[in-house]
Amino acid sequence: MLPGAATFAQSATYQGLPVIKAQQPRADYRMGREWVKGNWSIAPETSPDVLLLALHKSKETFVFRTDRDSIRYQLTPGSTQRFYVQLADGRYALTEVRSTAFKAEPLRFDTQAPAQAAAYPFRYEPGVNNAYLTQLRQQYNLDAVVQGARNDTERAQRLLHWVHKQWDHNGENEPQKRDALSILEEAKQGKQFRCVEYGIVATSCLNAYGLKSRVLGLKTKDVETTESGAGHVLLETWLPDLQKWAILDGQWDVMPMLRGKPLNAVEFQQAIAKNYKDLELRSLSGPGVSKMAYVNWIYPYLYYMDVKFDNREGLGLERTKLDGKSGLMLVPVGAKEPTVFQIKSPIKHCVYTRSVAAFYAKPE
């Protein structure tokens, strides 16, 4: 068989291309040994329906699998393969697989804290006698979630996993109020929310157990000029037993690690670029999280990063600001300081820094 040729369960063809059948309109695909399950929606109305894949090797085995059939290719960077998926109603979906080489460069930041960094008014939840967090712990029996956790990392993972299971992701829905208890109350009614809400709720749950945490906003390099998809929200938590910040993603239920060490967002970006092979995604959701799929998806977001100065929990607090700004944005050396989000929304809430030392100062 020639390199790149297809093998498939059925020998049918349509308009000169292979055809596989599907009863349900969703499909899985595999790159190498990693499955991405239920992520692909078969869409006959889009022609061709393009699946873009970034390869981390010079050659990868690709398998596309429906509930009825499958097809396999050997992919190399720059290759394109086409086939049809025939649905139960007889419609054909022209599906195109395009592969490129995954490219990642480590971003540069200043390693020294500037003189003004000492004046950044960071405040974190002390976690003592906070009625709001006490209600959160008791109302949702979170003590049972963390019972038996052996260290801060495991405690954080358990709480993250609990939040991840409270609703299915819906990038179009927003809650009526943007606090953990209100979001969870709406989730109990069957509502689904965005990455933002996973970040908010997980941050509150970790703060409730003394793990000083903050919602983290990520933004792409083209944040000012793209119309959509320029941001993602997750969180970072300070792990006292390791004396470092660690990133956690509630939407995906993952904690990135390198050689057993939890990573902050900048370290994660560096590890993708320099140590992909050794990079690990810890998840209590089991093996369903594909490292390839997650890394390919999140990497563009790991460019600009911003956090709030005041990360205390509760309603009606007078929030600390600096010169009227509520947060700090980390900007790579040589990059523009963005002032607009997705063409239309001004970014007015951030002070800018290029110092990782300032951004990752130890919480007091």
Query: CA-CA distance, 273 to 354, in Å (whole number)?
Result: 19
The CA-CA-CA angle for residues 316, 318, 324, to 5°, reads 135
Distance between CA atoms of 153 and 248, rounded to whole angstroms? 10
pLDDT for residue 39: 82
Q: What is the pLDDT of residue 5?
A: 44
Instruction: Name the nearest CA neighbour of 247 among 312, 208, 298.
Output: 298
Specify burial of residue 134 (Cβ count, 10 A radius: 0-12, 13-18, 19+): exposed
For the record, the structure tokens of 89 come out as 């109603």
- CA–CA gap between residue 165 and residue 320 (Å, rounded): 32
DSSP symbols for 324-342: TB-EEEE--TT-----EET
Cβ pair 168, 192 in contact under 8 A:
yes
Residue 357, phi then psi, degrees to nearest 5: -65, -40
Q: How far apart are CA 215 and CA 306, in angstroms?
A: 9
Q: What does the buried/exposed string (b/e) look like for 14-41 if buried means 16 or more CB atoms within 10 Å of the residue's CB?
A: eeeebbbbbeebebbbbbeebbbbeebe
Is 230 in contact with 221 (CB distance < 8 Å)? no
**Predicted local distance difference test score (pLDDT) of residue 3:** 39
First vs last C-alpha separation in the chain: 63
Within 8 A by CB and 6+ apart from 338, the residues are 219, 223, 224, 304, 329, 331, 347
Encode the chain (364 residues) as per-residue pLDDT tens digits: 333 445 544 568 999 999 999 999 999 999 998 998 888 999 999 999 999 999 999 999 999 999 999 999 999 999 999 999 999 999 999 999 999 999 999 999 999 988 888 899 999 999 889 999 999 999 999 999 999 999 999 999 999 999 999 999 998 899 999 999 999 999 999 999 999 999 999 999 999 999 999 999 999 999 999 999 999 999 999 999 999 999 999 999 999 999 999 999 999 999 999 999 999 999 999 776 889 999 999 999 999 999 999 999 998 899 999 999 999 999 999 999 999 999 999 999 999 999 999 999 999 8
Bridge partners, 93 (sequence order): 85
Q: Is 150 helix (H, G, I), strand (E, B) or coil?
A: coil
pTM of the model: 0.90
Residue of 62, 61, 71 whose CA lies nearest to 22: 71
- Rounded Cα distance between 230 and 179, Å, is 23
Positive or negative: CA dihedral 5, 9, 10, 15: negative
Residue showing tokens 């398998």: 63
Given this model, what pLDDT does residue 11 score? 65
Strands 92-101, 17-22: pairing is: unpaired
**β 231-239/13-14 pair status:** unpaired
Contact 202, 250 (CB under 8 A): yes
